[in-house]
Structure 1
Amino acid sequence: MADIHIFPDAPEGTPESKFVHLHVHSDYSLLDGASKIDTLIARAKELRMPALALTDHGNMYGVLNFEHICHANGINPLCGEEFYVAEGDHTEHEEIPYSKNGKKSYYYHLILIAQNDTGYKNLSWLSSIAFTEGMYYKPRIDFKLLEKYHEGLICLSACIQGEIPKALLFNDFKRAEETALKYKNLFGPDRFYIELQDHGIAEQKEVAPKLIELAHKLNIPLVVTNDIHYCRREDAEAQDALICIGTKKSLKDPNRMRFQGDNWYMKTEQEMASLFPECPEAVSNTLKIASMCNLTIHQYKTQELKNCLPVYKIPKEFVSQDAFVLHLVQKGLRNRYEKITPEIVERAMYELGIIFKMGFSGYFLIVWEFINWSKNNGIPIGPGRGSGAGSLVAYAMTITDIDPFRYKLIFERFLNPERISMPDFDVDMDFEFRQRIIEHTKEWYGEPQVGHIVTFGTLKAKQVIADVGRVLDIPLSEVNMLKKCIPDNPKATLKSAFSEPTEKFPDGGQLIPYKDDPRYKELFRLAFKLENVNRNTGLHASGMVIGLTELPNWAPVFKDAKTGKKAVQYTMDIIEPCGLVKFDYLGLKTLSLIRYAENIINKHKKSGEPVFSAEKVSDTDQKTFDLFSRGDTVAVFQFESPGMQKILRQAKPQCIEELVALNALYRPGPLDYIPQYIEGKWHPETIHYPDPCLEDILKETYGVMVYQEQVMQVAQKIAGFSLGGADMLRRAMGKKKPEVLMGKKVEFEEGAIKQGFTKEHADEIFDIMVPFAGYGFNKSHAAAYSVVAYRTGWLKANKPAEFMAANLTNEITSTDKIPVYIEEARKMGIAVDPPDVNRSDSIFDVVDGRIVFGLMGIKGMGQNAAEAIVKERETNGPYKTFIDFLDRIDLKDVNKKAIEVLIKTGGFDHLDKNRATLVANFEQAIAYIEKKQESTAYGQGSLFEAAGEKEFADFVYQDVEEYPKMELLNIEKDLIGCFVSGHPLDDWKDAIEKCVTCNSDNIDRCAKIAESEKQALEASGKNQWQARKNAGRSYIAMGIIQDLRIITTKKSGKLMAFAKLSDFKNSIDLTFFPQTWEAMKDKIVNEGIYAFKGKVDGSRETPSFLVDSIEDPAQLQQKSITNVHIQVESGFKSVKEIAPLRDFLFGGQGNCYVYFHIDIGGKMYIIKANTQMNVPCTPEFLNDLRETKCVKDVWVD
């Protein structure tokens, strides 16, 4: 369970309330309730209420957290739900008879509260059935279900939407009386109550006397409630805004859905007593109900959880699960190792001893079963993920494929005998087969026992600014500007944006200048109230639960609205104490990529060649390590970022172990130690070990403590800790709690002294270990993922066309990724051909070393159509003409839209007519074929043919001139996301390579430079507008104008424009201010090719290129970059410190002059370098230069 806050008690002497709230909605009543659970409990405690209910709309999402927090704060939790009840059968869609203004409804409301464990289980079942069987607008139950699941529940008649008040409102007294008696008879005289409410609404005032009269007549007790949707009266506006967020309305909309008045808050005992003074028992009955409820939801400890696992049925010949695991391990070791050494046997028996003692054989078998089934059915499973890769037993059972001996992995990092916790195998599986594996699990254990896990999207800082800004009608540009002021950190809060920068949030404080801005006062006020409120549900990306019995026996379930998948209503961090163990089924697209590459390779392999498998490639392939050493790792798993590419070029890894280390180091924290690692590799004399005895542990990482496992081994070596104890030390160091850390430090010192070390030396080593324990990486995980990375690197180095085709197939629906991978393929010298009905497969393929576009990659071409085209061609041979194509395909499978997009993307270019002609004629051609086929079906065609005549003359085309090249290419881009048969900028490559200094690749970096210069100018006294106008250097951008928009400015009434400028990879935003637009408006049209000079504005979420002037692309062809400017970091104290920069520059031979910009004492000096230091100005060289030590910035002119 997460940490639970204990709220302060009410002031001493405050009498205990004689009233408790029984009708309460938290923010788990999504986009309706505005209060967090802990806020509600804190307020109840402040009001000295001994109990509190939670009755969210149609769900139990918050119940478990609510129960735990209530108990921790001495409050009796009344766990319930406000149910939706169907008119008849919950599976039918019967309308209720009471409607207003013609608005249909299909349910009533009803409050149910659990008295005890029986009631809680029944509540769970009702909530689950409502979602899985009764969903129609809302999750619904019916009276028959209540008859089955009413034990242990207290029932309240609910708000004005309840069946009884609804009937009374429509003067249907008979229905009201019958319903009240029905519920009284079911629940008994003490467990059914008629609910009174008064929020100042006319309908409630009208119905309340009728409810009181009915209750007295039928001898049914009354209870007064407030329909709480926010904690305090002053939160009403925030809840109003929340509803507007959910309904997508503005707060200014008079017709928006809203609550009447501001009385929907947690009122005091006195306020509630004053509502119905004639019914004092309605107040005292709240305490009576609370006294009848005594629920503590059982929390399963780890030792109990193993007994909650689903039962894996072992073969009859084995006496126990332990015996079957032993058998699998013995068999597996014989398959894994040519020679089983005593060391292997000892390690296996040690691990098995711990697994058996802890009772976790069942867990291992559950994971083994679905992995084994997957592998037997050809579904790729990753070699490992997380600490589980450190287990020899898992390796022998083929749960993992990483040899813990080769990579020196530690079992105790996975399963610590000194700290009992459930094992946790994270299993990577082929992304496209994940659902099939889940379906198999359902088939194996039973569908009712298997489910996903809920997640909640919340109104995080940026989201709440966006949502509240929208409902307040604040201009989007201003909202985006405010969002950009919030730190780029998932844990960032509004508070961090209004507070001075800290180590955790170094970019904090950016909203401080707007704190008192009257334009945003209301926005910030509401945003602070709604921050972190739940917004929507989702499904955990990998988490699944498998129950010993049906899931509602352990936790309520719901059905995800988007996917229809069943999931438990409690989140991953609290689900295990319910008795449900989490299993990670993580879909990894890289495994799909490798499978696609293997399929292409095997499809085209020569007869007699063995089936190719990436798992079997040599792990010492020099071409692969050369690829990594060049940093040529676009599309290589885990190693494709520009920063990682630079490190690879510096480290030049020559074995998988070095990839493992770099993978672990390239993360926040250890990133600072990469230079030390690289220095140690190339200059071993610089390696320093904290103690000589640690060389064996730290030698493989050149003296740097990279892995968590190394921290454990150091503790074992220096202080004599067991590896289990060392793991507990590592965890304590990672949490950085001073009191815990001090106790561990004393333990470490005492152990070290016993080992013969001094206290001072022990303290020195301990202090070195602490930061590494906090950010050191799990070696088992790094090893497993580096093996996957190596396999993708091997494919790129040895089977480049197949590898890139596989990447394109893996992203076949992503119009963002396809252009990137096509560009990378072309850089690698691999041609990419357009779609072709006689060459294309449904997915991307390789023919004669060229990638052929996959038909499914065309927008509007579905999988069925693509596969039907390919199947017909493979069955009956290539298509001869367009008419032959139409005659052979089934037009039910391949519709007109699919045919049209296939024409427009060049699918028939190699047949008989151009694209424009086919587009102009294809509908007539289809009609011709349909008529011909209809005639043949009736046998008419055969009669004429027997007589030597043709019933149907050949189809006659109306020839049309082909589209202009630019139009052809734009159609391609629209339908397949990129230009394939050419590129509009192909004729301008020289100009772009020589003169363009801002493009879609580097505009973010240009924006950061502009922002830093703007801030410097603001600090010097310039106002924000002047700073923005003058900041940043000028750049040249070139590309194709698209999405040109012309607007009239509100302030001056003049015209200005916005556009996209597309280059070979992507696009950047352009802004033309009025004066600039006036000067060039007659020269610019959509889809034209232009070059512009301008600056970059980085103040908004998306950077924009501010156009100053237009350049002639033809003249740019004659120009070239001649100067490279380097701004050196200030503060260096000697020439030695910039030696790496000097060495790097001397290593690059080119024709561009180098200028150093050096800040000395606040004054900038510009020094031209000797011509011997002339460098190239290729993008690759400039990127490496920017990342070289001592370089602050680089630009060219």
Structure 2
Amino acid sequence: MYLNVHSQYSLRYGTMSIPALVAEAMARGITQMVLTDINNSTGIMEFMRECDEKGVKPIAGMEFRREKRLLYIGIAKNREGMKELNDFLSEHNLEQKALPDIAPEFSDAYIVYPYGHAAPLKKNEYLGIRFNELNRLYGNDLKEIKEKLLALQPVFVADKIEYRLHEYLRGIDLNVVLTEVTESDKCSPTDMFLSPGQLEAKFSRYAFILDNTRNLMNTCVMDYPKGRINLNRRTFTGNKKNDRELLEKLALSGMEYRYGKANKEALRKVKHELKVIYELDFCAYFLITWDIIRYSGSQGYYHVGRGSGANSIVAYCLKITDVDPIELNLYFERFLNAQRTSPPDFDIDYSWDEREDVQDYIFKRYGSQHTALLGTMSTFKDRSIIREIGKVMGLPKSEIDGFTDQTQAAVNQNNDTFRKIVAIHERMANMPNQRSIHAGGVLITEEPITYYTALDLPPKGMATVQWDMYEAEKIGFDKYDILSQRGIGHIKMAVKLVEENQQRKIDIHQVKTFMRDPAVNANLRIGNTKGCFYIESPAMIQLNRKLGCDNYLVLVAASSIIRPGVASSGMMGEYIKNHHHPDKVQYLHPVMEEQLKETYGVMVYQEDVIKICIHFAGMDGTDADILRRGMSGKYRSKKEFDRLVERFHEGAIKLGRPPAVVAEVWRQVSSFAGYSFSKAHSASFAVESYQSLFLKTYYPREFMVAVLNNYGGFYDRALYVQELQRSGGLVHLPCVNNSESLVNISGVDVYLGFAGIHGLTDIFIALIPEERRRNGTYQNLEDFIKRTGIGLEQAITLIRVGALRFTGKSKKELLWAIHLLLGAKGKPSNTAELFCLEAKNYSLPVLVNTRLENAYHELELLGFPLSMTMFELLQTDYRGEILANDLINHVGQRVKMVGLYVCEKTVHTKTNKRMWFGNFLDVEGNTFDTVHFPNSTPTYPFRGAGCYLILGKVVEEFGFASLEVLKFAKLPILPNPVIS
């Protein structure tokens, strides 16, 4: 009888999850109901699975609202009807047009209007009346509408307590305090499942309404296939036999390109993989991915194929990846096997400015009805919930800040308001908050995708499904991950700049040559890697220096060791120690030596977790992979996960493993598995790292310009500018006669771009260089003003940053002149003049700018000074007792250093106290690392950018020296002469 039921997917409105909703219905003896979430079908497939499992008949539908007003409810007769409803909503979402007052006439869906709807009803349309509206029927002639009346008992909440939660959700949604949530903003307090027999009793005088409702629901049958089936596009060519022949032809041709004609091992592996791919019906998946790569290559785009797909030699032969599975002894079954419970996918990275075109190609090539971006669902998170609840309660910001401050936890426990917030928080935590877009997932389907979801149009402008990757997997869709990253943009642009600036062409795909290059490997070993993909962070530099990493295979391991799991389990240190002393490795158990000898008994890759689960604990491959996925948050059933944890322990004990050893192996598995890479993924990252490092080693100036123009990487812009200077680049301030929108290089001269000037608008960032290209260099200030039409404020910004120094006048002279020219009228006319009149010259006193004034201008407008270093800006001449390169010679000693702040990282100790790692530059531009334990940093905190005086003890680990900080303080700089 319930044809208007809502779940939490009626965002910030409904309070029950799908399982809770079904359980609540069962407890009241309800045998069928319609899920009608507001303007979405996110939960429909989950609802059908849950109902089928619990023996309740599911009916799919949707409630259509415009703003807060209920327009009508759609109820699907079958899957065709659900497609009609999804298509209807999708059309309005994608075309961004409002829902109409009157629904169209659906062939396989019913429409229920709220009672009071005046327009004539079509054959498939009904009126829904609530029990508290039945008095409106009294005394009316019902002949015309008797067969059209249905019982409308909406369900939004489970009970009175959840109704209060609903009110808080509405306050959050409307961004108002609780007292401002009006009756029209929320549901009725009675909008819940009624006790058995109660609904019938309320409609007892109008039993025919209940009969109508029951009869309508009985006609609805959700004829969707049960269980997970393959819903992806099934063929590439339109014929499975042709797909198979094309894939084999491409794979064998690619094998010859990669390995030559006589590599028997490669041929054996290719044929084995092809057999598995055929049997598991994945030909189309490989061919579609190949097609995407083929298109992007034809456009000159560079890609990186990574993820578990790089385990496949067929993928390597199809140029989907550049990782050689034979060289690395990669495990194909980690990617694709008959027992694998989850669909595999390829992760394909493009430059940030090319990905959208690739996605556009996919949509056009495979059709808008069959292609969509994958959605994601953000949930209410701990701290954000507290803030949202506090705002709805009308609390002042200072009080809310106190409640979210972890250091005030003990005090807050005794606060009644805080306890109330916590009670609400416990009910709201992890509820869906809003739909968003997945980082890069694309679905390509066999049937129109609207059989399974309506489509949204997020800011990206491409149709997006209304559920996430977990739901996609359960329904039967495999995603194609089309991702973007800055690192590829660095490489692509650097190659182009080298060709333009040095007339040298680079084949950036000759990675195996780079891997053997002594100069490249020397930079890797000493940590000269700033700007290089994945190996530029202080933590990665430190790890590579501790390992003495100077080759590809060690870098592959390092790329996974750096992940949080290995570090937090203590196994990073164990790996480094064993790497330096492989003859002294003590294996925890013979199985560990047998399975993990390559990594000295340490689990480094996701495959290692699977191996240990299988060979140490006797689990099968399917359960081992589910366990690994569960640890990484990619498996949602906690009950199933707990069962597998138990199976691990039981299996290990059954095989006679000592309990203490089982406990330690499990500790390593559980702390590690969720934060590791597959070996193929690490190998893909390492390939890209070598490409970046090759460019940095031999073409450092062009490479750093590319890093700056692709919006940097791990560090602030200032550090990359300094790297440019260290590489011999003569870095100049922006100049209207030499700069482009982005940073440009000519020989060793590098001009900063207009895009880096704070406060300069986009129109002038583009216009200034474009006008110069069209009509030549600017001759003087007046010429510049007339040709660009620039206004006073923007002109002052350019003068202060030094961009008009070509005039030969000081900034102060230019500021005087610009006020004379524009001060009264603000903006000049750039219309053509009949006569060109010279501007009047005024006799001015000598006006000069000091280096200190210039440095302050640059700090304000660029974010860093170029005229002076930050060390030169200090009030003191003291530069510390020692420099970074001398640290290793003072191990165990207390020393004073002066360092320019680069970055910091906060971590939590085992006792949940915070500690910090810092990274600094000395006066020579060399980096050093600091460690700040909880007992010192709160007394001597970080205070942002600038130079610090640091007292610490020099410590060393695996030949890498750092500073354990005892005291440190930020040093004052010279005052701004303009202000003072």
TM-score with structure 2 length normalisation? Answer: 0.82
Give the 3 Å change call, closer, same or farther, for CA 524–730 of structure 1 in structure 2: closer
Aligned to 1:120: 82
C-alpha distance in 2, partners of 1:325/1:260?
Answer: 56
Work out whether residues 708 and 773 of structure 1, in 8 Å CA contact, stay in contact via their aligned partners in 2: no
What runs of 5+ residues in structure 1 fail to find an aligned partner?
1-19, 86-104, 159-163, 168-175, 199-203, 487-509, 751-758, 942-950, 1015-1031, 1038-1063, 1066-1093, 1107-1112, 1127-1140, 1148-1179, 1187-1192
CA offsets, 1:784-812, max 9 Å, x none? Answer: 11111222233333333323222221117
Aligned to 2:19: 38
Aligned to 1:155: 111
1:78 is aligned to 2:59: yes
For residue 870 of structure 1, report the CA deviation from its aligned partner.
2.8
Work out whether residues 299 and 579 of structure 1, in 8 Å CA contact, stay in contact via their aligned partners in 2: no
Describe the SS at the equivalent of 1:978: coil
Describe the SS at the equivalent of 1:587: strand
Work out whether residues 83 and 141 of structure 1, in 8 Å CA contact, stay in contact via their aligned partners in 2: no
Work out whether residues 705 and 745 of structure 2, in 8 Å CA contact, stay in contact via their aligned partners in 1: yes
Selected match of 2:493 from 583, 588, 596: 596
One-letter code of the match for 1:242? L
For residue 386 of structure 1, report the CA deviation from its aligned partner.
1.0
Aligned to 1:953: 838
One-letter code of the match for 2:439? A
Work out whether residues 472 and 523 of structure 1, in 8 Å CA contact, stay in contact via their aligned partners in 2: no
1:388 is aligned to 2:339: no
CA offsets, 1:1126-1159, max 9 Å, x none? Answer: 8xxxxxxxxxxxxxx6888xx8xxxxxxxxxxxx
Residues 2-41 of structure 1 correspond to what in structure 2 (within 5 A)? 20-41=1-22
Aligned to 2:550: 654
CA offsets, 1:819-844, max 9 Å, x none? Answer: 44335556767554221122222212
Describe the SS at the equivalent of 2:60: strand
1:244 is aligned to 2:200: no
Give the 3 Å change call, closer, same or farther, for CA 422–407 of structure 1 in structure 2: same
Residues 468-487 of structure 1 correspond to what in structure 2 (within 5 A)? 468-485=389-406
Describe the SS at the equivalent of 2:41: coil
Residues 721-732 of structure 1 correspond to what in structure 2 (within 5 A)? 729=624, 731=626
Aligned to 1:1023: none
Work out whether residues 1010 and 1096 of structure 1, in 8 Å CA contact, stay in contact via their aligned partners in 2: no
1:544 is aligned to 2:465: no
Residues 1047-1196 of structure 1 correspond to what in structure 2 (within 5 A)? 1124=952, 1181=961, 1184-1186=962-964, 1194-1195=966-967
For residue 700 of structure 1, report the CA deviation from its aligned partner.
3.8
C-alpha distance in 1, partners of 2:420/2:60?
Answer: 35
1:330 is aligned to 2:265: no
CA offsets, 1:548-595, max 9 Å, x none? Answer: 3443244321222x3333111222212245454321111122111212
Q: Percent identity, please.
A: 23
Selected match of 1:50 from 31, 34, 50: 31
C-alpha distance in 2, partners of 1:1013/1:574?
Answer: 37
1:587 is aligned to 2:489: no
Aligned to 1:643: 539
Describe the SS at the equivalent of 1:987: coil
Give the 3 Å change call, closer, same or farther, for CA 974–220 of structure 1 in structure 2: farther
Aligned to 2:104: 146
Work out whether residues 82 and 111 of structure 1, in 8 Å CA contact, stay in contact via their aligned partners in 2: yes
CA offsets, 1:79-109, max 9 Å, x none? Answer: 2111248xxxxxxxxxxxxxxxxxxx89761
One-letter code of the match for 1:565? M
Aligned to 1:131: 93
Give the 3 Å change call, closer, same or farther, for CA 772–1010 of structure 1 in structure 2: closer
C-alpha distance in 1, partners of 2:192/2:614?
Answer: 58
Selected match of 2:696 from 796, 800, 803: 796
Aligned to 1:625: 521
1:457 is aligned to 2:378: yes
For residue 248 of structure 1, report the CA deviation from its aligned partner.
1.6
Residues 891-930 of structure 1 correspond to what in structure 2 (within 5 A)? 891=789, 899-919=795-815, 921-922=817-818
CA offsets, 1:428-478, max 9 Å, x none? Answer: 111211110011112212233221122122111111111111222333344
For residue 782 of structure 1, report the CA deviation from its aligned partner.
0.8
Describe the SS at the equivalent of 1:267: coil
C-alpha distance in 2, partners of 1:714/1:524?
Answer: 41
TM-score with structure 1 length normalisation? Answer: 0.69
Residues 428-827 of structure 1 correspond to what in structure 2 (within 5 A)? 428-485=349-406, 511=409, 514-560=412-458, 562-576=459-473, 578=475, 580-606=477-503, 609-611=504-506, 613=508, 615-616=510-511, 618-671=514-567, 672-688=570-586, 698-710=596-608, 729=624, 731=626, 775=673, 777-811=677-711, 817-822=716-721, 825=724
Give the 3 Å change call, closer, same or farther, for CA 259–356 of structure 1 in structure 2: closer
For residue 921 of structure 1, report the CA deviation from its aligned partner.
4.5
Aligned to 1:879: 778
Describe the SS at the equivalent of 1:543: strand
Give the 3 Å change call, closer, same or farther, for CA 373–268 of structure 1 in structure 2: same
C-alpha distance in 2, partners of 1:815/1:689?
Answer: 37
Describe the SS at the equivalent of 1:664: helix
Work out whether residues 235 and 243 of structure 2, in 8 Å CA contact, stay in contact via their aligned partners in 1: no
Describe the SS at the equivalent of 1:340: coil
C-alpha distance in 2, partners of 1:857/1:400?
Answer: 35
Aligned to 2:123: 186
CA offsets, 1:531-562, max 9 Å, x none? Answer: 222222211111111223443244321222x3
Selected match of 2:769 from 855, 870, 876: 870
Aligned to 1:855: 754
One-letter code of the match for 1:542? G
C-alpha distance in 1, partners of 2:802/2:294?
Answer: 44
Work out whether residues 313 and 324 of structure 2, in 8 Å CA contact, stay in contact via their aligned partners in 1: yes
Give the 3 Å change call, closer, same or farther, for CA 33–850 of structure 1 in structure 2: farther
Aligned to 1:373: 295
Give the 3 Å change call, closer, same or farther, for CA 157–530 of structure 1 in structure 2: same
Work out whether residues 379 and 429 of structure 1, in 8 Å CA contact, stay in contact via their aligned partners in 2: yes
Aligned to 1:1153: none
Describe the SS at the equivalent of 1:80: strand
Aligned to 1:935: 833
Count of residue pairs the alignment pairs up:
922
C-alpha distance in 2, partners of 1:1012/1:576?
Answer: 39
For residue 1194 of structure 1, report the CA deviation from its aligned partner.
4.2
C-alpha distance in 1, partners of 2:816/2:137?
Answer: 73
C-alpha distance in 2, partners of 1:815/1:903?
Answer: 31
One-letter code of the match for 2:704? M
Describe the SS at the equivalent of 2:157: coil
Give the 3 Å change call, closer, same or farther, for CA 900–374 of structure 1 in structure 2: farther
One-letter code of the match for 1:534? P
C-alpha distance in 2, partners of 1:640/1:478?
Answer: 40
Work out whether residues 344 and 478 of structure 2, in 8 Å CA contact, stay in contact via their aligned partners in 1: no
CA offsets, 1:935-958, max 9 Å, x none? Answer: 34xxxx4xxxxxxxxx52346479
One-letter code of the match for 2:109? L
Give the 3 Å change call, closer, same or farther, for CA 1105–683 of structure 1 in structure 2: closer
One-letter code of the match for 2:76? A
Aligned to 1:63: 44
Describe the SS at the equivalent of 1:56: coil
RMSD of aligned Cα (Å): 4.5
C-alpha distance in 1, partners of 2:910/2:314?
Answer: 53
Describe the SS at the equivalent of 1:405: helix
C-alpha distance in 2, partners of 1:1098/1:261?
Answer: 54
